[in-house]
Amino acid sequence: MEYSKNYTAAGEHIDVQGIMDGLYYPFYMEECRHAYIKEVLGFDFVQQAENGVFMVLSEYSIKFIRSLKKDDNFDVTCAVFTDPSGLPKLHFKQSILKNGKIMASALFTGTCIPATGGRPYLPEELKANFTDASVLEIK
């Protein structure tokens, strides 16, 4: 299932060239991804942290295709994929679209770790909410 949220490029995120600074693209993607994780996957970051479970990123890559400008209205999408090697990782494919055109695309990879330290894992209650997710295809 692909999830989407709508945003407007904030003036304070615009650089001297009149385009959105590259550091804010992953910021908007994070906002959307966190909403997706809570609303669709049922993982509440605050509650889980209080229970000793931290969800963390292990890596990400982003491709910038077109620039956003001040007050541009855009959508951020998010979809989850499981790991092709069966590792305890979730992969989130995300895009930023303006008027149906891709402005940026990214792949974020995350996992959970115990707050006290230890090996990465995915809690069973989280796994139950993405049983129909596709396996990430590596190119």
Angle of CA points 25, 12, 102, to nearest 5°: 30
In this prediction, residue 1 carries a pLDDT of 63
Residue 139 has pLDDT above 80, yes or no: no
| Domain that residue 49 falls in | 3-135
Pairing mode, if any, of strands 3-8 and 53-64?
unpaired
82 φ, ψ (degrees, to nearest 5): -85, 165
Number of structural domains the chain divides into: 1
Q: Domain containing 12 — which CATH number?
A: 3.10.129.10
Q: Averaged over 31-46, what is the pLDDT?
A: 95
Angle of CA points 106, 42, 6, to nearest 5°: 45
For residue 2, what pLDDT band results from cuts at 50, 70 and 90?
A: confident
Question: How high does pLDDT run on average in the chain?
Answer: 95
pLDDT digits (tens, 9 = 90+) for 69-126: 999 999 999 999 999 999 999 999 999 999 999 999 999 999 999 999 999 999 998 9
